[in-house]
Amino acid sequence: MPALYQQLIVQARKLACMDKRRPGQGNLRRSVSTAYYALFHFLIEQSCRQHVGGAQADEGFRTLMWRAFSHGVMYDAAKTFAGGTLPKIVTRSVGSLTVHPDLKALSQLFLDAQDQRHQADYDMTIRFVRAEVEGLIDRIEQAFARWPGIQNQNSSRLFLMALLLWKQVKDRP
Partner 1 sequence: MTSEIDAAIKAVDVGSLVSRLPKSPRVQDILLEGYRDHMGELSLRVVVVLDEKTKDADRQWVKLEPIDRIVRDTLSEVGVTLYPYVRFFKRSELRKGAVA
Distance between CA atoms of residues 62 and 56, nearest Å:
10
Alpha helices by DSSP H, the chain: 4-17, 25-52, 59-66, 71-83, 88-94, 101-122, 130-150, 154-169
Min. distance of Cβ 58 from partner 1 in angstroms? 32
Between residue 91 and residue 110, which ones bind partner 1 under the rule CB under 8 A? 105, 108
Comparing CB distances to partner 1, the nearer of 51 and 79 is 79
Per residue in 56-76, is it b (16+ CB within 10 Å) or e — as a string?
eeeeeebeebeeebeeebbbe
In the list 60, 127, 145, 171, the residue contacting partner 1 (rule: CB under 8 A) is: 127
Type of residue at 81: F
Q: Quick check: 9 and 145 in contact, CB under 8 A?
A: no
51 counts as binding partner 1 under rule CB under 8 A: no
Member of 123, 149, 167, 172 binding partner 1 (CB under 8 A): 123
**In the stretch 133-152, what mask flags binding to partner 1 with x, by CB under 8 A?**
-xxx-xx--x----------
Contact criterion met (CB below 8 Å) for 47 and 69: yes
Which lies closer to partner 1 via its Cβ, residue 66 or residue 75? Answer: 75
Of the candidate residues 112, 151, 165, 170, the single one contacting partner 1 (CB under 8 A): 112
- Residues lying near partner 1 in the complex (CB under 8 A) are found at 72, 75, 79, 82-83, 105, 108, 111-112, 114-115, 118-119, 123, 125-132, 134-136, 138-139, 142
